């Protein structure tokens, strides 16, 4: 009998480790709410064609990393590799954006890759999409939101790598120039890069195998039209005003085809792994039209939760229980359990060890379960009191039962 294990490239997140994930989710929902975003909940699978068109046939993601399957009616469906195409599809389907829409999401994404730490076949992203707004302040706001999320998650030394890849018309002229440059040095290029030249020459720029060959290559930021140029200047000025540090990275191009103008990534300096980016985003003003909607400017970001948790400054797991109830002996168990129920009704996060266990064992359980305090139900119960102990300071006292809520608030 072979035991079951989770599919390759998937992670199980169990208590108590899941506390960190809860924290990430709550933090993101809270923070994006502060910025005016509300959840958009879309299917976890979509028609394969949506991603092929939206994300781009020429991208690695679509080319070889999709979890594609046929349903019973023979439709080709794909587990979403990212969320933006879905959100945009859903908004178009609902009639398009009236004014602006600010949407957030959280959930699993799927990419068929060779797994590594921080690179799973099922991984989690949280993101926002600012739809219907072309002003550069939208880019600034979204960049700031991601940056603050990383700060609140205690990811140290985050650098924002920033670039602009211009508008489609800018890119067409630039692309010809880049291709000419690459043709001249074709002998120096890796096989990968040669293949890519045809499909998507921009991506040769950030190929690690070709850093020397492309050292003097022309770069998109030097080939901007006046509008894209002004937009990028405004984005930089806005980031400066908000005090968001960034580093210009002229070779940063992103792997999803829908981006234009501003693109960026968040890179924690102290987390040196190949999977270094913990989040990224960009503007995608053409995606609505590409998917059959009205022209709608938009900018968004996605944060890689798995990687953020790997990059977090190691910290102890938070204590999750306000109070742990201890029965001083078997005779007190019924009383203690009934009181536990009342505490929970009052909204106190409380628990106790069930079964017949020594006081010592119950205290140990309280500590292990992450309780901040213990209340002992015993002889003092007859006078309407319990003994409470703060497990972090070790101090202990006898208090009237009805003061328990106030006592917890103080500790």
**Which residue of 307, 312, 321, 336 would you call a contact of RNA, by CB under 7 A?**
307
Ordered alpha helix ranges (H), 247-356: 287-290, 305-311, 333-345
In the list 25, 27, 60, 108, the residue contacting RNA (rule: CB under 7 A) is 60
CB-side exposure of 144: number of CA atoms within 13 Å?
A: 18
Q: Residue 125's closest CA among 79, 62, 82, 66?
A: 82
Q: Which of residues 316-345 bind RNA (CB under 7 A)?
A: 326, 328-329
Residues 199, 58: Cα–Cα separation, whole Å:
6
Question: Which of residues 234 and 357 has its CB atom nearest to RNA in the complex?
Answer: 357
Q: Where are the alpha helices (DSSP H) in 224-267?
A: 226-242
Buried residues in 164-187 as b, exposed as e (16+ CB within 10 A): bbbbeebbeebbeebeebbeebee
Question: CB 19 → RNA: shortest distance, Å?
Answer: 16
Contact 361, 319 (CB under 8 A): no
Residue 57 CB: number of other CB atoms within 10 A? 12
The yes or no reply on residue 360 touching RNA (CB under 7 A) is yes
Nearer to RNA, 209 or 346 (CB): 209
Question: Contact with RNA (CB under 7 A): which of 4, 7, 345, 410?
Answer: 7
Residue 274 in the binding site for RNA (CB under 7 A): yes
Buried b (16+ CB within 10 A) or exposed e, 327-355: bbeeebbeebeebbeebeeeebbbbbbee
Q: Write out the binding residues for RNA, residues 234-253 only, by CB under 7 A.
A: none
**Residues from 370 through 409 that contact RNA (CB under 7 A):** 374, 376, 378-380, 387, 389, 391-392, 394, 396
Cβ neighbours around 189 below 10 Å, total = 20
Of 176, 209, 338, 354, which one interacts with RNA (CB under 7 A)? 209
Site for RNA in 251-270 (CB under 7 A): 254-256, 265-266
Segment 100 to 119, residues that bind RNA, using CB under 7 A:
111, 113-119
Q: What gap in Å lies between CA 333 and CA 362, rounded to an integer? A: 12
Least distance in angstroms from the C-beta of 174 to RNA:
18
Q: State which of residues 155, 214, 302, 350 lies at the interface with RNA (CB under 7 A).
A: 302
Among 1-9, 69-77, 88-96, 100-108, the segment contacting RNA (CB under 7 A): 1-9
222 is an interface residue for RNA by CB under 7 A? no
Q: Is 68 in the site for RNA (CB under 7 A)?
A: no
Shortest reach from residue 363's CB to RNA, in Å: 3
Binding residues among 174-203 for RNA as defined by CB under 7 A = 192, 196, 203
Q: Cα separation of 18 and 199, whole Å?
A: 42
Cβ-contact 281, 143 below 8 angstroms: yes
In whole angstroms, the minimum distance from the beta carbon of 281 to RNA comes to 7
């Amino acid at each position: 009998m072979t035991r079951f294990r989770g599919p390759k490239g998937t992670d199980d997140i169990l208590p108590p480790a899941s506390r960190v994930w809860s924290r990430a989710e709550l933090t993101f929902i809270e923070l994006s709410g502060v910025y005016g975003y509300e959840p958009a909940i879309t299917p976890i699978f979509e028609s394969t064609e949506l991603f092929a068109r939206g994300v781009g046939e020429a991208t690695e993601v679509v080319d070889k990393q999709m979890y594609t399957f046929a349903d019973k009616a023979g439709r080709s469906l794909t587990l979403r590799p990212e969320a933006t195409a879905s959100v945009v599809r859903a908004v178009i389907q609902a009639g398009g954006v009236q004014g602006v829409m600010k949407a957030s999401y959280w959930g699993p994404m799927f990419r068929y890759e060779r797994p590594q730490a921080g690179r799973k076949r099922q991984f989690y992203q949280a993101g926002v999409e600012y739809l219907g707004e072309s002003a550069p302040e939208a880019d600034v706001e979204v960049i700031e939101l991601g940056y603050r999320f990383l700060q609140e998650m205690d990811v140290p030394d985050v650098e924002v790598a920033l670039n602009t890849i211009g508008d489609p018309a800018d890119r067409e002229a630039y692309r010809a120039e880049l291709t000419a440059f690459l043709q001249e040095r074709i002998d120096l290029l890796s096989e990968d890069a040669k293949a890519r030249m045809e499909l998507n020459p921009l991506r040769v720029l950030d190929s690690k195998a070709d850093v020397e060959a492309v050292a003097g290559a022309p770069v998109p930021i030097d080939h901007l039209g006046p509008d894209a140029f002004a937009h990028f200047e405004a984005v930089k000025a806005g980031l400066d005003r908000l005090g968001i540090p960034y580093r210009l990275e002229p070779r940063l191009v992103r792997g999803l085809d829908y981006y234009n103008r501003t693109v960026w990534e968040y890179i924690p300096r102290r987390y040196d792994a190949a999977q270094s980016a913990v989040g990224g985003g960009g503007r995608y003003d053409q995606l609505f039209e590409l998917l059959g909607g009205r022209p709608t400017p938009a900018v968004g970001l996605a944060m890689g939760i798995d990687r953020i948790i790997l990059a977090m400054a190691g910290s102890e797991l938070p204590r999750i229980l306000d109070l742990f109830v201890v029965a001083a002996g078997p005779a007190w168990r019924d009383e203690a359990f009934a009181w536990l129920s009342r505490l929970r009704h009052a909204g106190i996060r409380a628990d106790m060890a069930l079964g017949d266990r020594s006081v010592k064992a119950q205290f140990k359980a309280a500590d292990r379960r992450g309780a901040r305090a213990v209340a002992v139900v015993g002889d003092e119960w007859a006078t309407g009191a319990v003994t409470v102990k703060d497990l972090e300071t070790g101090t202990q006292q006898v208090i009237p039962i009805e003061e328990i809520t106030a006592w917890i608030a103080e500790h």
